[in-house]
A = this chain, B = another copy of it.
């Protein structure tokens, strides 16, 4: 990737991923051109932000014209390395876990679940609609080469999240996406993203009340 060697804000990466969503739709509709202004409006951000975010990685637009949808999308896929397949494993095949494994959007974007683990004996051995068979957590292999997945997803109950993370790390996984309400600690050499929806609800509740309060 041809990045300028200046520091890239963390939020820039997430926004660039965001930009790709409307672009995919425009590509389907065969819209050729898009301006930073229009793209920004669709993503709820400032147009200058769009241009600056992209400028960290190169010059993809044409002054006076805008961006070519197909080219920009392809550049973004290169930037995000989502132009290839990533193999995922999941720990905890409950409601949330099943929703993720069966989600076709993730697959379309190149995220493929290749292993599913659970500790509940009733679940082990079951075949999921996607074709995966649920395995005992203990069978997570010891090395990345053997286990064959690169990103671990955690959807166990909070009490088991750290244990699941430890197993993944022992198996050589270098990136974890954790949906449990327990905050997995970021170990050396492994990226962790914690996603907790109920925080989003708390956030909404707070802001709802403070708006009310001010009226």
Known: A177-B197, A208-B150. A202 touches B80 (CB 8 A): yes
Instruction: Please report the C-alpha to C-alpha distance between residue A17 and residue B200 in the assembled complex, in whole angstroms.
Output: 9
A174 within 8 A of B: yes
Cα-based distance from A203 to B80 in the complex (angstroms): 7
Q: Are B177 and A82 in contact (CB under 8 A)?
A: no
Q: For A100, what are the chain B residues with a Cβ–Cβ distance below 8 Å?
A: 197
Report Cα–Cα, A71/B182, bound state, in Å: 21
Please tell me if A127 contacts chain B, counting CB pairs below 8 Å.
Answer: no
A21 to B194, CA, bound (A): 13
Q: Is the interface of A mostly helix, strand, loop or mixed?
A: helix
Residue from the list B43, B82, B204 in contact with A193, Cβ < 8 A: B204
Q: A42-B183, A81-B209, A95-B98 are in contact. Are A177 and B204 (CB under 8 A)?
A: yes
Output the least CB separation between A103 and chain B (Å): 7
> How many copies of this chain?
2
Most B CB atoms within 10 A — which of A14, A21, A150, A205? A205
Q: Max chain B CB contacts within 10 Å: which of A43, A196, A208? A: A208
A207, CB-defined interface residue at 8 Å: yes
Question: Contact size class for A?
Answer: 35 or more
Task: Check if B111 sits within 8 Å of A102, measured CB to CB.
Answer: no
Q: Is the beta-carbon distance between B21 and A181 smaller than 8 angstroms?
A: yes
| A18 close to B (CB within 8 Å) | yes
A18 touches B82 (CB 8 A): no
Q: How far is the CB of A15 from chain B (nearest CB, A)?
A: 9
A111 to chain B: which residues have CB within 8 Å?
A: 198, 201
List A155-197 residues whose CB lies under 8 Å from chain B: 158, 174-175, 177, 181-183, 185-186, 191, 193-197
A135 to B: closest C-beta gap in Å: 21
Q: How far is the CA of A94 from the CA of B175 in the complex (A)?
A: 28
User: Could you list 15 A-B pairs, sorted by A, with CB under 8 Å?
Assistant: A21-B183, A21-B196, A22-B183, A42-B183, A43-B183, A80-B205, A105-B158, A105-B181, A175-B207, A175-B208, A177-B201, A177-B204, A191-B211, A193-B203, A195-B200
